[in-house]
Amino acid sequence: MTKSDLIKRLAEANPHLYLRDVERIVATVFEEMSAALARADRVELRGFGAFSVRDRKSRVGRNPRTGTEVEVPDKAVPYFKTGKELRQRLNENS
């Protein structure tokens, strides 16, 4: 599902809202989540999961084109841990 698909489904499920309002709501939710993660805050959506930021340590990597070793610096990476309800829902038919 893409962001556009999400907006379309939400607009269909809420016909009393204008499409542009649904677009603004979705954009605002994603902006706030991104801002929280940029501050290294945790974003928790109960039953769905939690987004957080983890630090990846520097390491020695390899340039795939030349094969030479290169230093890959420290960096922050997003991390998502599924919630209990989402895990159960995904595994219902397994």
- Tell me the domain boundaries of the chain: 1-39, 41-94
Where is pLDDT greater, at 93 or 25?
25
User: What pLDDT sits at residue 32?
Assistant: 98
User: What pLDDT sits at residue 93?
Assistant: 76
Convert the pLDDT of each residue in 63-83 to its tens digit.
999 999 999 999 999 999 999
- C-alpha triplet 23, 49, 42: angle, nearest 5°: 85
Stretch 37-56: mean pLDDT, rounded? Answer: 97
Phi then psi for 91, rounded to 5 degrees?
-100, 10
User: Is pLDDT above 80 for 94?
Assistant: no
User: What pLDDT sits at residue 79?
Assistant: 98
At the topology level of CATH, where does 41-94 sit? HU Protein; Chain A (4.10.520)
User: Is pLDDT above 90 for 27?
Assistant: yes
Q: What is the DSSP string of 14-80?
A: -TTS-HHHHHHHHHHHHHHHHHHHHTT--EEETTTEEEEEEEEPPEEEE-TTT--EEEEPPEEEEEE
* Beta bridge partners of residue 76, listed in sequence order: 55
